[in-house]
């Protein structure tokens, strides 16, 4: 058995069924991808009205 | 209680000189030392001095204890957010102002007054009191000093200096300093409130939970409602919409039932924010309509409701112009601030799209940066970064994208 197959079997045995999800892309990273790291601040609705907090 | 201060208070009140009062009882220099509390007199001496002015020591002690109790009640009103009662207590205490000035209760009295002016949202009086307390601060005991810095943080919070306020608070539970037991809930609440403004929602939720627990244990129901509103806003911002929605339902009912009208309106307004996020515009509009029908919601909430209504109109492709016109009517000519910025923003968005970007970059972004509007700054920076990324202007794209974090890219 090739070592690659052994590793896959070992991963499956250990419960890493989703291991295939970790794929490595050989494509070069685009500069655009680097500029904005995440969209964590984007919400479905862009709220402009202020949030009114309870009193101090 | 310092007997020397009491003797001095009554001597001055009776227009007596030290020579006159000391005559036949003790020397002038002796009296002078007693009055400055550098010497504790023999019981017979103090009794003779007070008797000469018709003052009974037992009655004095009783008066002192009464004022101490009143001061306790005064600050409890702030802790339980019982403003009406606090005003009444303030009125009673000011009648004893001169006497309080002569006792060692003066520091507490002046500190609690500072908290009162903050609760009343009276910036001018609070500022005057701050200057006065700074002079007194040399004589503060350790707990008084803690209170001074805590109230100072609230004062900054009130003047929208979020970062300075937070820095002060963060130093208050470090090292050998501990939070006075009575103020624990208040400390968590104020910290959670400021962390929301800074956009640190997870940490804010942690402190809000602590505040909620404290208020529940101490049956502090009004502050509990305030803490719950913070939590609902927090969940909304973190997209935990089911949780937020159930808190809003509870808050709506309880603020109404407890007669907390202002809080009820704030709840409706913030609930509309959540409904907009889930694109439930019809229900959001219904809540905003209820607020618009209310003639007593005050200028700030009126403007906020209009901004919110304009957003809904834009999203649902209805005509936003009538609301925009109403908003502009409410904004004073000389007003420079959040609503003026947004009124112009919407105007440009509706009528002259090409100007919008320049306006965002040249006016809005510097404004939010200058006045510490962290969330707004992040939002505008994000849009500008996206734009310059599209234009392949990498230098500007990188500059604006660096603001996409809680510090807003500022080094604090």
Q: What is the pLDDT of residue B378?
A: 83
Residues of B numbered 225-284 whose beta carbons fall under 8 angstroms of chain A's beta carbons: which are they?
225-227, 229-230, 233, 237, 239, 263, 266, 269-270, 273, 276-279
Region of residue B336 (phi > 0: left; psi between -120 and 50: alpha; otherwise: beta):
beta
Q: What is the mean pLDDT of residues B362-389?
A: 86
Measure the CA–CA gap between B381 and B309, rounded to whole angstroms: 24
Which tens digits make up the pLDDT trace of B164-196? 999 999 989 876 667 888 999 999 999 999 999
Residue B198 or A46, more confident = B198
Residue B42 is classified by DSSP as P
Which tens digits make up the pLDDT trace of A1-56? 555 555 545 544 555 444 444 444 455 544 444 443 333 444 455 667 788 999 99
Which residues on B lie below 8 Å from A32 (Cβ)? 389
Which tens digits make up the pLDDT trace of B332-348? 876 778 889 899 999 99
Measure the CA–CA gap between B210 and B199, rounded to whole angstroms: 18
- ipTM of this complex prediction, to 2 decimal places: 0.81
Task: For residue B273, give the nearest of A31, A32, A51 by CB distance.
Answer: A51
Q: B383-404 burial by CB neighbour count: b if 16+ within 10 A, else e? A: bbbbbbbeeeeeeebeebbebb
CA angle in degrees (0–180, nearest 5) for B103-B104-B105? 85
Which tens digits make up the pLDDT trace of B219-263? 999 999 999 999 999 999 899 999 999 999 999 999 999 999 999
Tell me if chain B has a CB within 8 Å of the CB of A33.
Answer: no
CA angle in degrees (0–180, nearest 5) for B110-B112-B114? 75
Q: What is the mean pLDDT of residues B300-323?
A: 93
- pLDDT over 90 for what percent of chain B? 70
Q: What is the pLDDT of residue B371?
A: 79
Which residues on A lie below 8 Å from B263 (Cβ)? 54
Q: What is the pLDDT of residue A36?
A: 39
Tell me if chain A has a CB within 8 Å of the CB of B187.
Answer: no
Mean pLDDT of the residues in chain B: 91
Residue A26 or B388, more confident = B388
- pLDDT over 70 for what percent of chain B? 97
């Amino acid at each position: 058995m090739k070592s690659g197959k052994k590793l896959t079997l070992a991963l499956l045995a250990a419960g890493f069924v989703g291991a295939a999800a970790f794929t490595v892309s050989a494509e070069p990273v685009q500069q655009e991808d680097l500029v904005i790291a995440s969209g964590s601040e984007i919400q479905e609705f862009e709220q402009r009205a202020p949030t009114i907090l309870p009193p101090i | 209680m310092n007997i020397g201060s009491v003797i001095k208070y009554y001597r001055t009140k009776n227009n007596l000189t030290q020579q006159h009062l000391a005559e036949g009882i003790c020397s002038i220099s002796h009296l002078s030392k007693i009055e400055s509390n550098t010497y504790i007199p023999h019981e017979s001496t103090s009794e003779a001095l007070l008797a000469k002015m018709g003052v009974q020591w037992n009655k004095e002690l009783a008066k002192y204890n009464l004022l101490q109790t009143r001061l306790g009640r005064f600050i409890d009103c702030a802790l339980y957010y019982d403003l009406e009662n606090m005003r009444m207590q303030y009125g009673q205490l000011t009648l004893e102002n001169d006497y309080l000035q002569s006792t060692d209760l003066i520091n507490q009295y002046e500190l609690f007054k500072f908290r009162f002016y903050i609760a009343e949202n009276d910036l001018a009086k609070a500022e005057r009191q701050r200057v006065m307390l700074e002079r007194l601060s040399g004589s503060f005991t350790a707990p008084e000093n803690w209170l001074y810095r805590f109230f100072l943080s609230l004062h900054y919070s009130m003047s929208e200096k979020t970062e300075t306020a937070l820095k002060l608070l963060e130093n208050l539970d470090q090292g050998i300093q501990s939070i006075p037991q009575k103020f624990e809930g208040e400390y968590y609440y104020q910290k959670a409130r400021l962390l929301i403004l800074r956009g640190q929602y997870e940490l804010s939720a942690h402190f809000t939970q602590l505040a909620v627990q404290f208020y529940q244990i101490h049956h502090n129901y009004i502050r509990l409602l305030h803490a719950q509103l913070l939590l609902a806003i927090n969940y909304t911002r973190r997209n935990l919409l089911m949780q937020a929605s159930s808190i809003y339902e509870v808050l709506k009912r309880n603020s109404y039932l407890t007669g907390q009208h202002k809080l009820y309106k704030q709840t409706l307004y913030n609930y509309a924010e959540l409904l907009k996020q889930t694109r439930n515009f019809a229900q959001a509009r219904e809540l905003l309509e209820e607020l618009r029908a209310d003639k007593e919601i005050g200028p700030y909430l009126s403007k906020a409701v209009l901004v919110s209504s304009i957003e809904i109109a834009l999203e649902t492709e209805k005509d936003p112009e009538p609301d925009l016109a109403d908003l502009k009517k409410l904004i004073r000519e000389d007003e420079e601030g959040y609503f003026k910025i947004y009124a112009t923003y919407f105007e440009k968005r509706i009528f002259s799209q090409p100007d919008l970007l320049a306006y965002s970059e040249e006016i809005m972004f510097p404004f939010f940066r200058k006045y510490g509007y962290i969330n707004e700054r992040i939002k505008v920076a994000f849009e500008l970064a996206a734009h310059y990324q599209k234009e392949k202007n990498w230098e500007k794209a990188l500059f604006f994208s660096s603001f996409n974090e809680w510090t807003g890219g500022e080094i604090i």
